[in-house]
Amino acid sequence: MRYSNYTIAIPPGATIREQIENRGMKQKEFALRMGLSEKHISRLINGQVELTQDVSLRLESVLGVPASFWNNMEVIYREKLARIESEEDMNRDIEIIKAFPYSKIAALGWVDKTRKPEEKVNQLRQFFEVAKLYLLENLRIPGIAYRKTGENSFSDYSLAVWAQKARLEARKYNVEPINISKLEKVMPNIREMTTKSPEIFCKELIELLGGCGIALIFLPHIGGSFLHGTTFYDGNKIVMGLTVRGKYADKFWFSLFHELHHIISGHIINAEETTLEEENEADGFAKDTLISPDDYNDFIENKCYSKDCIISFANKIGISPGIVLGRLQKENHIPYDHYNEIKQKYEINN
């Protein structure tokens, strides 16, 4: 017998035991009369083997109880077993959803708003396209590369939600076959887009990366996650997700080139997530691609950090002034509250 908080499953074997006990019959004798092994009869009585139609016909002959009765008992028993397993799975998943930022992703419209644990579980199962949430442990995205900030460790569950949303959105895009060589060649074209507004560069960037086999997805930030971007293979395409809503231009472009380096360097092919060394390498690539080391060092040597000097330097090297300012602020050449009016804030939706 198995049971949960709501269901009790009693095997037909319990009734078989009553019948043979009422007859004062031992299991050994019963097994002989049934033409089955004593071991099989023991397993049948304990609900460890299925009561087949052949066995139900034998029971009809030996015990005088119609085969339809035994068949019906077996169907009910198996149905209740399945219900118990489903309830146990639900209880297990209810514990798992406590680690998900459910209210945050519901506010984004990725799942329905609800306070009922069972409904949350069903919503997340549909979102992740899994029968049970605990199966996600075996469905981790191989070699996922992502950029995060902050001292707290990023929640695997938040990352899983964010990556799944990027994957779902990427299905809407038809991209060319993956071509890393082509991607390397168009890097200067991508850098030139930093001086354009999102209304102009977004379409161009999506098309350009799509031609290299990359589906670029813009997603809102999940508060508290510290995530800036993530990149991974999904079937015959590469999915790159970037947070953008309310993000300054310097952070956006830095994150983009950071993720592009993961792709070019093959970091996302690895089975494990990116290492600290790979993350630092991608940071260096993003910095040096946006502002070449020689140009930056020349500018720093002049020690002219006025707004006019920053704008003039940015125009000279062909990038957004906000990117230069962000670099100077991060490296403590300029306080974070200086000249932020030249920083552009993006509002981008896919």
Distance CA 17, CA 27 (A): 9
Give the confidence band of 247 by pLDDT, cuts at 50, 70, 90: confident
Q: Residue 287: pLDDT above 80?
A: yes
Tell me the average pLDDT across 252-279: 88
Give yes or no: residues 146 and 182 share one domain: yes
Q: What pLDDT, on a 0 to 100 scale, did the predictor assign at position 55?
A: 96
d(CA 249, CA 346) in angstroms, rounded, equals: 6
Q: Which of 92-96, 98-102, 241-245, 247-251 has the lowest mean pLDDT?
A: 241-245
Shared domain for 132 and 144, answered yes or no, is no
The model's pLDDT over 63-79, given as tens digits with 9 standing for 90+, comes to 999 999 999 999 999 99
Instruction: Identify whether residues 202 and 315 lie together within a single domain.
Output: no
Residue % of the chain over a pLDDT of 90:
70
The string of pLDDT tens digits covering residues 274-285 is 788 998 999 999
Determine the average pLDDT of the residues in 163-186. 94
The CA-based diameter of the chain, rounded to the nearest angstrom, is 105
Instruction: Report helix, strand or coil for 42.
Output: helix
Q: Tell me the torsion sign for CA atoms 38, 39, 44, 45.
A: positive
> Is the same domain home to 12 and 149?
no
Residue 142 scores a pLDDT above 70: no
pLDDT digits (tens, 9 = 90+) for 10-56: 999 999 999 999 999 999 999 999 999 999 999 999 999 999 999 99
Residue entry with tokens 């991974």: 232
- Using an 8 Å Cβ cutoff, are 221 and 150 in contact? no
Do residue 151 and residue 225 come from a single domain? yes
- Are 220 and 270 found together in one domain? yes
Give the pLDDT of residue 224. 56
**Which of these, 37, 34, 72, lies nearest to 54 by C-alpha position?**
34
Residue 116 has pLDDT above 90, yes or no: yes
Confidence label for 349 from pLDDT (cuts 50, 70 and 90): low
Where residue 138 falls among pLDDT bands split at 50, 70, 90? confident
Q: What is the pTM of this model?
A: 0.77
* pLDDT for position 242: 87
153 and 263 belong to one structural domain: yes
Q: Which long-range CB contacts under 8 A does 47-56 form with residues at least 24 apart?
A: 47/1, 47/2, 47/9, 47/11, 47/12, 47/13, 47/14, 47/77, 50/74, 50/78, 51/12, 51/13, 51/77
| Per-residue pLDDT at 244 exceeds 80 | no
Average pLDDT, the chain: 89
pLDDT band for 151, please (50, 70, 90 cuts): very low
From 38, 72, 93, the end of a domain falls on 93
Q: What is the CATH number of the domain that holds 48?
A: 1.10.260.40
Give residue 107's domain range: 102-137
List all residues 6 or more positions away from 95 whose beta carbon is below 8 Å from its beta carbon.
Answer: none
> What's the pLDDT at 243?
80
Q: Could you tell me if 336 and 319 lie in one domain?
A: yes
The alpha-helical segments, DSSP class H, found in the chain are: 12-22, 27-34, 38-45, 53-63, 67-97, 102-107, 117-128, 156-170, 180-185, 187-192, 198-210, 249-264, 276-290, 293-302, 307-317, 321-330
C-alpha angle 172-240-349 in degrees, rounded to nearest 5: 60
Q: Which residues are CB-contacts of 150 (< 8 A; sequence separation ≥ 6)?
A: 226
Tell me, yes or no, whether 172 and 265 share the same domain: yes
Secondary structure (DSSP) of 304-332: --SHHHHHHHHHHHTS-HHHHHHHHHHTT
Are 124 and 230 contained in the same domain?
A: no
Same domain for 162 and 298, yes or no, is no
Q: How many residues does the chain have?
A: 350
Measure the CA–CA gap between 145 and 262, rounded to whole angstroms: 7
- Cα(90)–Cα(349) distance, rounded to whole angstroms? 35
Give me the number of domains the chain comprises.
4
Q: Do 40 and 118 reside in the same domain of the chain?
A: no
Cα 111 to its chain centre, rounded Å, is 14
Residue 4 has pLDDT above 80, yes or no: no
Q: List the one residue out of 262, 93, 211, 232 whose CA is nearest residue 165.
A: 232
